[in-house]
Structure 1
Amino acid sequence: MNLNFTKNGLLFSFALLFLGCQSVTQLSSPTIEISDVQAAQDFYSWTEDRIPMVSAHRGGPYPGFPENSIEAFENVSKQTPAVIEFDVAISKDSVLVLMHDNTLDRTTTGSGKVIDHTYAELKELFLVDNQGTTTSFRIPTLAEALRWSKGKVLLTVDVKREVPFEMVVEEIEKQQSVPYAAVITYSIEDAKKVYQLNPDLMLSVTIRNEEELERFEDSGIPLKNAIAFTGTSERPKAFNQLLHDKGIFTILGVLGNLDKSAASRGDQLYVGFVQNGADILATDRPLEAAKAIQELVPETSSKSKYFKK
């Protein structure tokens, strides 16, 4: 199969895989269109022909593209189909914005705690990339990110501790983003709370072993609502298979040590993670990881109907 690579080999065309084209050049990456709840549950229901993907941690920051910026999301999504993970914080006047840290110092031209600033103050700041370079990009609101994402990418929404789940779910509902915006939860109690707020939402749930799986199964939340985050170290292949047998997608967090290992030892390590049962790689290197695992994308897949040129 012929795949087209551009921009120093980092970009590749998944469209060749999904659309079955044999000799097309300069194609942009297909978007992911999940239009209703049933489609989301179908997409995340594990099947043998699932399409392995990357999840861009904090949106996939690269030089010139700060974390948790719509510009970073756009940069990644133009180059590979992706799940975009981002963080939601709250301003002094209760506006939901995208920010990972509790403070502004590292990623913006401002300083101090996010929650001590009004949105009017926050929107005057510029975002700073991971190399310390100030950009012309601004802090986005959750509403802006949800609107941008529709028909382009899937989302996993990481809710900071001081942010009420009620506000996040309300905004997801307001923007009609329930089908494509999964909410990240770190405990069974949080998962049950989000499920009670909206039983149609997909939930990213930490399930790293059989004990945590059993606790989730006892929670009353249907398995069809779950995407299993299996931690930041590889799980045994047999455990991944157990999740797959129950129809559950797995997200392996390769961010951190596993990303560093791939950067130093070779990106083919990402292939091994997928072959071991990881369906989505949550990574700080989404373009490199996506390029490595493209060879594992099936020629035809029941999931490919959700990828649109």
Structure 2
Amino acid sequence: MKIIYYISVFLVISIQEVLSQSIYVLEIESPEELHEFFNPDPTNIPVISGHRGGIVAGFPENSIEAMENTIKRTHAMFELDPRITKDSVIVLMHDETLDRTTNFSGKLIDFNFSQLNNCYLADKYGEQTLFKIPTLKEVIEWSKGKTIINLDKKNVPFKMIADLVIELDATSHVMLTVHHPDEAKYYLSRDKRFMFSAFIRNLKEFNKYDQAEIPWDQMIAYVGPLSKPENKELYSKLHQKNVMVMVSAASSYDKGENKIDRFNNYCKVFQDGADILESDLPIDVAKAINIVENKGAKNAKFFSEIKQ
């Protein structure tokens, strides 16, 4: 009887924990608020971006489930990878082939979406999960009112991306990675409210965007994988334009095997003046920088916790 009692108590506690689970959301309701969210300020709460949605055991990259797991633990935006199937359905998939991240093999572009019905995603260790490849439409609809998604540039025609974002009225929470001012110009010709993550890794690239007259208040600047002293002038120029600076740790600091050193590097990125840190491990970044509630922060109004 005692065993049954203890099991019952455990189940009740477990159910209560599930029912009381919070999610940490970025509440942004319009394109104008999205632009405001990315306005740098010394008081701001640091912004974390989950690279490919966040990559941890049991939760595959570029999956809704990975993002859900992250926002149960921290506020975050997400960088994602759209690709198209043979029949032009836009899905999330980083690689050109299915081999590394699913139980299928071959090129994604060789499959119609209906042929992927039994295709299951694998986590970073190659362990198959029950999660399936999401369509971009599903992800845009899921993310509304919860987070911001940043769509990287893969093999999807710009027109298809613009068409879908506009059709779903999603310029309030979807932004686009651009590698050249001409790409930003195209998207702005479709909707002048688009927000961008622009590759501005040096002063030469900074000047290209300046000369192209892309609205500075509608972009953040990806400056590279490292926080470097020689980028001090670039940071200063970007901040003078009210542009947030983003460093990506996915290919650099995330690879550190020593947890203490890795956490120190995450902190140093922000101490050196960056505003956003993109990482495969957004939950670890949140632990490292130990975000505390700061109601005086300029961007605090966008950070909310919702009990589910």
Specify the TM-score bucket, using the shorter chain as the normaliser: 0.7 to 0.9
Conserved 8 A contact 1:123-1:139: no
- Displacement of 1:27: 7.0
Aligned partner (choices 270, 280, 283) of residue 284 of structure 1: 280
Q: CA deviation at 1:106?
A: 0.8
User: What residue is the counterpart of 1:65 in the other structure?
Assistant: 59
Match of 2:183, SS?
helix
Letter in 1 for 2:264: Q
Aligned counterpart, 1:45: 39
Partner of 2:13: none
* 1:34-83 CA-partner distances (Å, limit 9, x unpaired): 11011011111112222212111110021110000100010011111001
Structure 1 residue 208 displacement after superposition: 1.3
Task: Check conservation: 1:240, 1:276, Cα contact below 8 A.
Answer: no
Instruction: Quote the residue 1:36 is aligned against.
Output: 30
**Aligned residue among 168, 175, 189 for 1:175:** 168
Contact kept? 1:108, 1:127, Cα under 8 Å = yes
In structure 1, distance between residues paired with 2:107 and 2:299:
42
Which shifted more, 173-182 or 238-247? 238-247
> Identity across aligned pairs (percent)?
37
The verdict on how the C-alpha distance between 1:200 and 1:107 changes in structure 2, with shifts beyond 3 A counting, is same
For structure 1, which segment, 273-282 or 298-307, has the greater mean C-alpha deviation from structure 2 after superposition?
Answer: 298-307
Q: CA deviation at 1:220?
A: 2.3
Distance 2:45 2:114 in 1: 42
Q: Cα distance, 1:129 vs. partner? A: 0.8
Distance 1:288 1:77 in 2: 13
- Is residue 56–residue 84 contact of structure 1 (8 Å, CA) maintained in 2? yes
Distance in 2 (alpha carbons) for counterparts of 1:293 and 1:199: 35
CA distance in 2, matches of 1:246, 1:29: 33
**Alpha carbons of structure 1 residues 139 and 36: separation in structure 2 relative to 1, 3 Å:** same
Q: 1:75 aligns to what?
A: 69
Compute the TM-score of the two structures, normalised by the length of structure 1.
0.87
Corresponding residue for 1:100?
A: 94
1:258 and 2:253 are equivalent in the alignment: yes
Aligned residue among 176, 185, 189 for 1:192: 185
Structure 1 residues 222-275: Cα deviation after superposition (integer angstroms, max 9, x where no partner): 111111011112243342122112100111011112222374524122111101
Tell me what 2:225 maps to: 232
Q: 2: distance between equivalents of 1:123 and 1:73?
A: 22
Which residue among 154, 159, 178 is the counterpart of 1:166?
Answer: 159
**3-state SS of paired residue (1:109):** coil
Compared with structure 1, are the counterparts of its residues 117 and 55 closer, same or farther at alpha carbon in structure 2 (3 Å cutoff)?
A: same
State the SS of the aligned residue for 1:271: helix
**Unaligned residue ranges in structure 2 (runs of 5+):** 1-19
The answer as to 2:298 corresponding to 1:302 is: yes
| Counterpart Cα distance in 2 of 1:92 and 1:155 | 24
Cα deviation for residue 127 of structure 1 reads: 0.6
C-alpha contact 2:98 2:106 (8 A) present in aligned 1: yes
Moved more, 193-202 or 67-76: 193-202
Shift of the alpha carbon at 1:292?
1.1
Which stretch of structure 1 is more off in the superposition, 207-216 or 68-77? 207-216
Match of 2:78 among 67, 79, 84: 84
Letter in structure 1 aligned against 2:69: N
Query: Between Structure 1 and Structure 2, how many residues are aligned?
Result: 283
For 2:212, the aligned partner's letter is: S
Cα separation, 2, equivalents of 1:84 and 1:290: 14
Aligned-CA RMSD value:
1.7
Which amino acid is the alignment partner of residue 35 of structure 1? E
1:120-139 matches, within 5 Å, as 120-139=114-133
Bigger mean CA deviation after superposition, 85-94 or 171-180: 171-180
Point out the structure with max Rg over C-alpha. 2
